[in-house]
Structure 1
Amino acid sequence: MSKVDGMLLTDLPGVGSSLAERMITCLGQAEDVWDALRVGDIERLAEVDGLSGNRALSLCRDFASSGWQLSSKDATGVRGESGIESVACGSTEGIGKKEGVGPFLATSEAEKIHHKLIEELAKNARSKATSNRLKLLMPYSLSRVAELNSRRVLIANAMELTSSHGETATELRESLGGISRLSWPQMRCERVVVCADDKVAERLSPLKKWCRVLRISSSETWKDYTVFSEVTWVGEGGPKGKTPDNWNIVAANAPLGLVLPERTIAWAKHNLKALQSLSSIRSIVLPKNVPTAEAITEAVIDLKTLASVLGELGDKGENSEALQMVKDELWKVAKQIESEVQTTVSEEMAGAQLSLQGSDMLDMLADANLLQRRIASATEEVIDSAITEANNDLSTFLGQAGINLPRGIFSSAWPPKLDRSALEKVEIEIDERLELDRTQTTLRLARNLTPLISACDSAIRSLIEVDAWLTIADWAQKEECIMPKMVKSGVWVDKGRHLLLGFNPDPVTYGIGEAAKLKGDRQSVALLTGANSGGKTTLLEMLAQITILAHMGLPVPAKAACVGHIEKLHIIAKASGTQSAGALEQTLRKLAEVLTTPGKRLVLADELEAITEPGAAARILAGMFGAAIDHPDICMLTVTHLAPQLLKASGRKLRIDGIEARGLDENLDLIVDRTPRRNHLARSTPELIVRRLVQQCEGDAQSLFADILAGFSDEADSNSPTTSLASVTA
């Protein structure tokens, strides 16, 4: 199969046969659709009727994240370490979907955090094209480790360039800001494309969007098409010998850029800013032995003639400017010279005298025309001299455009006048030469531009990829991010930071699973306790952000980090209220599926107990945590206010960590250490408020609050992780 039909396109989520056909019609052919999906050409896809920009982005993300790929026989350019991540689509026969690949972002909360991270990254993009490319970044699951490692190399190389070659990076940033995806302008050309062969006509069919494409009938010849002002004849059957004016004769296999030269030049003008940026990038002196710089060099290596061709874009022809100037000034200059001739003759004849003898007068009486001839003879030399000078002046003027002066353009009779018909012929000749010059210039430019079209398109795509990695490198430097170490399981961060709070938060060091640095922290399941607003949810979100960034191959906001490879990330947000019986059943089914289905995953849950009443929630969740502990491939961190009840209900060893608040300040804001204490049940906000009231009240009220506070202390002692673990062991 040389191209993808509607059946394969309809395998994409949400693409029906009708949309598939519209996509093919708009983009040209099925390979172009796959190519746009592969490179994330959102603008181009959004041109399809009924496909919005957001929907185009969604389709590109689905394609990027669902495991669709090309078989090796169809890959025409995998350049991992050089800076180019994607595979070039030649034939799409080898496109197929990896077995067993599901969404890494397994919950809507995980998708939300990913979306916010991508939006934050995209803000740093220098161009819309790079922004759209960044929006396509999706996490790689465990089954796509090779692709993840390849991207990590690309990002690390980009970080090396920005950190070690600052001046070069600055030059690149300025030029890359002008990069955009190349597109064809919407236009109709007057030129008619004609051929005499069915196969040639089929090859020319993509041009129908821009001009008329005709296939002659058996009874026609090329002469039947001289009625059109501009014609390109493709292949056999065209005129032999002299070619009609404004005709373009090309071979049957001529590139489409030469078949419709006006379209080719319009493409260059339409994409001028991006092409100038390409030319500028090619002129930058790049360092040797730096992979990202080498990728840029490779991307623009075939654009040696681009700068000179762009310099020709404004040319109207070798003689066009002179021709146009002469045309614009012709009548004005001719009238002025005509006036000067008459003035010169008048001035020369002002002092002239005609002497007549008696016999002359008698002769004139006999011949009435004799006086006329005598006067003409007396003025002939003056008029001829003036006309000769005028001819020289007008010839010099026309000679600027290579036009010869017609004979007899001035009459020798008095007063000397221009021959308007002769001057009109000069004007017609100028128009013909202008048109010929324009045609020759158009064809010459098209010949020079045509081989650059695919090279420029390839370069732009490669540079958008490179700019995406450089943008991430700049962002990483600004946010003080580092490349995490990918490990077998778990997640651990040293001085990690939440990226999306709008301020610089206190750094946190924490970890669970085998990734944790301390052996005592390597349990796969942990409960996180602490006061409200103490930072528990923020810690969950930070771990989620670092996990997502790491699985996208990107740097993370931490001093150091280890992240375990997983297939799925489950982020479960706090429920808004107690669920109905049906909703509770559905929630428990989904949670049980997560905790019992094979596959490496990370579960980050916020107050699961909110789904039902506290007593029942403790018994249910104790069983769920037991399943998580028994699952060999699950790491789970849960924020909870039911740690004592869960310990009691589970009868198992549960790791309980706490974000401990030392108290409240005068504004009732928590004074808190955001890094959790290991094996510690943290105090709640109500306990801190009661403690504050004990300090501030007097008399009976103080005694009341002291008794209440003692109850908190007794509960903490009887339900501390150490006590509970000891009693369970006994």
Structure 2
Amino acid sequence: MELEAIPGVGSKTAAALSELDDPERALETGDVAELASAPGITEGRAAAIARGAVRRRHDDPGGFLATDRAKEIYRDALGLLKDRTVTSYGEKRLETLYPSGVESRIEEAREFAESALERSPDPDVLDALADVEPLSPPRDVSVRDRCLATADAERYTEAKDAIPELSVEVVEDARDLADLARGYSTVVALDEEFAGVAVDGDVRVEPDALERPAEVVPERVLAFYAANRECLQAAARVHRAAGIDPPLELDALEDALARVDSEGTVVGDDELDRLSRAVDDLDAAASTAESVANDALREAIEEQDVTVEGSDLLSLVEQGAGVDSLLARELSDEYAAAVEQAREELIDSLDLDSGEAEVARRAFSEEPTFPVERDEEVVSRLRDDLQAAKDRRATRRKRELAADLADRREDAERLVRTALELDVELAVARFARDFDCVMPEFTDSGFEIVGGRSPLLDVSFEAVEPVDYDVSGVALLSGVNSGGKTSTLDLVALVAILAHMGLPVPAESVRIERFGELHYHAKTQGTLDAGAFESTLREFAGLATGGERSSANGRASAADGSGGADGTNGANRLVLVDELESITEPGASAKIIAGILEELRGRDVTGVFVSHLAAEIREMADYDVPVDGIEAKGLEDGELVVNRSPVKNHLARSTPELIVEKLAGDSDGEFYDRLLEKF
């Protein structure tokens, strides 16, 4: 794949993406987490790149969301979906869904949505998802207890490149190997010429070691699982709870993960634990053993009556003898017993095996001395022996564990990706369930919404009244203030956006044309200045002639999911306009709107224009403009009672008319009757 051919990807971004292990797979699947792991790529940027890859794959020019209000509705809809994700990945992954006018893209997204709707958002699955996150790169590994050795300069360079985790040493002969063996618990000689050489220590001749890095440095394999241990365990729980067939044996994976901690240390091995404790406790145990011997010897001395004749004492003094000589002569048995107690204390407290115990016994000499002191050289030797045994045991266990896990990484990554993608699917399923959604049906002309309810209103969804509305061509929508005209436009826009995202829509049923663009002009606050008014007219001129949209509102951007505005999709356009009369003086508004409707008539446009000037517009237009009305049934306790579904071909009465009608009914005077006749 030519990375720079993706919309929005330049040379620097392409270079960053090329550092990924498999950028094509990440782009093909919309793997935002993987794309965001490229140098300098944020999650938001990764989502935009994934959208660009989708557009390129479907030859999608973008630009469906042609106005700011259309983009706002898209962001609101996306927000509702994001609110139903559990993982941060799910939030970003949803940003790769965007409304499009390209049939192949819509169908691809519909397939995903239809599959998602079959998912059941089980609480156990959602709980397990809470601990799933994109996989982290393993930390850099540096191993100090092993080294590679070679006499060949070329092999030396090859080894440093192939296994950078280990030190590589240059040797000339067996003596050099022996020197290395004294400083490392394991030395791996890479040259066959060293085969059969007898050297003290753990020296292995393995000419093919560079071809088996997982065996030589199993920490490389374990680092990945250590960094992602909890995430992998959570992904396994997700698969079990959701009943998804995993790409690998979950019991075996969980058993292996239970044997490595978050630092990459092998756990659950009794012998390794024993050696670790012995190394850690050696100094304290030796001190305790000294105390045991001295306490026993002191007690023996205190209880023993020692008689030394004058001639003997004089002889000992003349010989320069001290208390040690007295101990050897008078308390040899007691001293031997005290030293034995020290030895047993050291051996028992460290749980040493027979070979280790033999070294430990030499830490306390049989030569009498007081106070009894350990031989530091022997203790140091014991420490080295224990540390070497510990390192060898840990390496062996790491090799065994790495052998179990080395070939499972790809499947483990797929396990997590599947769990994360499930979060995206469940968000769609939860959205559809929460808002009583159905998959829309695409038709040839206009739209028909049955039982539509917008979740964007500032009331609970259960309190939203359903709306039925259909339009083919361009229609005016009239109605009372606060009757629901704007919310009806919002509903139509939301349904259109979700349908063109390939997602379910909040309605009992929806039939809708595949539009190429959505132009939604929200009601302006106050009269526009001359420049803004001119810009607005230019945009409607573009709609009427099928030309380019104005730069004021029509330029799409990657940030809102619509892609670039580099052309249309060759399909009809949906135009929603809320009280266009607010852009200029009331006297001119009806004329302007009537003229716009005349120009849009017969064009590739389906539109709804909300206006309080429907009657005036219809009178000024040169054709019979369809007018629909949101009709108020009347007033109850000062509140409007409204039928929220627009009535076809009906000019709705205004709020003032309803108020005057109510007053006329409540009064015997003729004043209100005469006012009512004006309507």
Q: Does 1:688 align with 2:658?
A: yes
**Which of these residues, 567, 573, 578, is aligned with residue 606 of structure 1?**
578
Counterpart AA for 1:130: G
In structure 2, what is the equivalent of residue 709 of structure 1? 676
Q: Is the 8 A contact 1:658 1:677 kept in 2?
A: yes
In structure 2, what is the equivalent of residue 400 of structure 1? 352
Q: Is the 8 A contact 2:189 2:203 kept in 1?
A: no
Q: Could you report, residue by residue, the CA deviation over 1:117-167 in whole angstroms, capped at 9, with x for unpaired residues?
A: 111121121221222222332124242243143124213322xx45xxxxx
Q: Is the 8 A contact 1:235 1:252 kept in 2?
A: no
Q: Does 1:114 align with 2:74?
A: yes
Q: Does 1:183 align with 2:153?
A: no
Q: Could you report, residue by residue, the CA deviation over 1:319-369 in whole angstroms, capped at 9, with x for unpaired residues?
A: 3321232233333333443444455456567777889999x99x989x989
**Which of these residues, 258, 263, 267, is aligned with residue 311 of structure 1?**
258
C-alpha distance 439-493 of structure 1, shift in aligned 2 (>3 A)? same
**Which of these residues, 613, 636, 649, is aligned with residue 642 of structure 1?**
613
**Which of these residues, 437, 452, 458, is aligned with residue 408 of structure 2?**
452
Match of 1:674, SS?
coil
In structure 2, what is the equivalent of residue 104 of structure 1? 64
C-alpha distance 233-566 of structure 1, shift in aligned 2 (>3 A)? farther
Q: Could you report, residue by residue, the CA deviation over 1:192-246 in whole angstroms, capped at 9, with x for unpaired residues?
A: 9999579979986xx99xx799999xxxxx98x9799899999976995589779
CA–CA separation in structure 2 for the residues paired with 1:368 and 1:384: 24
Gaps of 5+ in 2: 171-175, 547-569
Q: Does 1:143 align with 2:103?
A: yes
- Measure how far apart 1:418 and its partner are: 2.8
Q: Could you report, residue by residue, the CA deviation over 1:291-336 in whole angstroms, capped at 9, with x for unpaired residues?
A: xx5xx31x44455521011100133555332123223333333344
Matches within 5 A, 1:134-533: 134-144=94-104, 145-158=106-119, 161-162=120-121, 169-184=122-137, 189=142, 196=154, 241=195, 251-252=209-210, 261-262=218-219, 264-284=221-241, 293=243, 296-297=244-245, 299-301=246-248, 303=250, 305-314=252-261, 315-316=266-267, 319-344=271-296, 376=328, 379-388=331-340, 390-400=342-352, 403-406=356-359, 408-415=362-369, 417-503=373-459, 504=461, 505-513=463-471, 523-533=472-482
Matches within 5 A, 1:35-50: 35=26, 38-41=29-32, 45=36, 48-49=39-40
Counterpart AA for 1:68: R
Q: Could you report, residue by residue, the CA deviation over 1:459-487 in whole angstroms, capped at 9, with x for unpaired residues?
A: 22222222211222223222222333333
Task: Provide the identity percentage.
Answer: 27
Which is worse superposed, 235-244 or 653-662?
Answer: 235-244
Match of 2:649, SS?
coil
CA–CA separation in structure 1 for the residues paired with 2:207 and 2:79: 52
Which is worse superposed, 233-242 or 303-312?
Answer: 233-242
Match of 1:527, SS?
strand
- Measure how far apart 1:399 and its partner are: 4.7
Counterpart AA for 1:12: P
Counterpart AA for 2:4: L
Q: Is the 8 A contact 2:281 2:350 kept in 1?
A: no
CA–CA separation in structure 1 for the residues paired with 2:78 and 2:321: 102
In structure 2, what is the equivalent of residue 76 of structure 1? none
Q: Is the 8 A contact 1:232 1:260 kept in 2?
A: no
Counterpart AA for 1:155: A
Which is worse superposed, 265-274 or 387-396?
Answer: 387-396
Match of 1:437, SS?
helix
Q: Is the 8 A contact 2:524 2:582 kept in 1?
A: yes
CA–CA separation in structure 2 for the residues paired with 1:273 and 1:246: 35
Match of 1:603, SS?
strand
Q: Is the 8 A contact 1:482 1:558 kept in 2?
A: yes
Match of 1:274, SS?
helix
C-alpha distance 20-231 of structure 1, shift in aligned 2 (>3 A)? farther
- Measure how far apart 1:686 and its partner are: 3.2
In structure 1, what is the equivalent of residue 560 of structure 2? none
C-alpha distance 417-586 of structure 1, shift in aligned 2 (>3 A)? closer
C-alpha distance 10-228 of structure 1, shift in aligned 2 (>3 A)? farther
C-alpha distance 312-351 of structure 1, shift in aligned 2 (>3 A)? closer
Alignment RMSD (CA, Å): 4.6
Gaps of 5+ in 1: 70-97, 163-168, 217-221, 287-292, 514-522, 713-730
C-alpha distance 645-375 of structure 1, shift in aligned 2 (>3 A)? closer
CA–CA separation in structure 2 for the residues paired with 1:245 and 1:393: 34
Counterpart AA for 2:357: N
CA–CA separation in structure 1 for the residues paired with 2:167 and 2:377: 40
C-alpha distance 148-403 of structure 1, shift in aligned 2 (>3 A)? same
Counterpart AA for 2:252: T
Match of 2:520, SS?
strand
C-alpha distance 438-537 of structure 1, shift in aligned 2 (>3 A)? same
CA–CA separation in structure 2 for the residues paired with 1:590 and 1:28: 44
Match of 2:524, SS?
coil
- Measure how far apart 1:656 and its partner are: 1.1
**Which of these residues, 513, 524, 542, is aligned with residue 491 of structure 2?**
542
TM-score (structure 1 length as normaliser): 0.73
How many residues get paired? 628
Match of 1:312, SS?
coil
CA–CA separation in structure 2 for the residues paired with 1:575 and 1:584: 11
Q: Is the 8 A contact 1:258 1:450 kept in 2?
A: no
Q: Does 1:663 align with 2:634?
A: yes
Q: Could you report, residue by residue, the CA deviation over 1:78-111 in whole angstroms, capped at 9, with x for unpaired residues?
A: xxxxxxxxxxxxxxxxxxxx44633322222211
- Measure how far apart 1:688 and its partner are: 3.1
In structure 2, what is the equivalent of residue 133 of structure 1? 93
C-alpha distance 428-537 of structure 1, shift in aligned 2 (>3 A)? same
**Which of these residues, 674, 681, 690, is aligned with residue 644 of structure 2?**
674
In structure 1, what is the equivalent of residue 551 of structure 2? none
- Measure how far apart 1:693 and its partner are: 5.5
- Measure how far apart 1:595 and its partner are: 4.0
Q: Is the 8 A contact 2:117 2:432 kept in 1?
A: no
- Measure how far apart 1:32 and its partner are: 3.3
CA–CA separation in structure 2 for the residues paired with 1:231 and 1:388: 31
CA–CA separation in structure 2 for the residues paired with 1:350 and 1:305: 63
Q: Is the 8 A contact 2:137 2:227 kept in 1?
A: yes
CA–CA separation in structure 2 for the residues paired with 1:170 and 1:249: 54
C-alpha distance 303-489 of structure 1, shift in aligned 2 (>3 A)? farther
Match of 2:356, SS?
coil
C-alpha distance 698-68 of structure 1, shift in aligned 2 (>3 A)? same
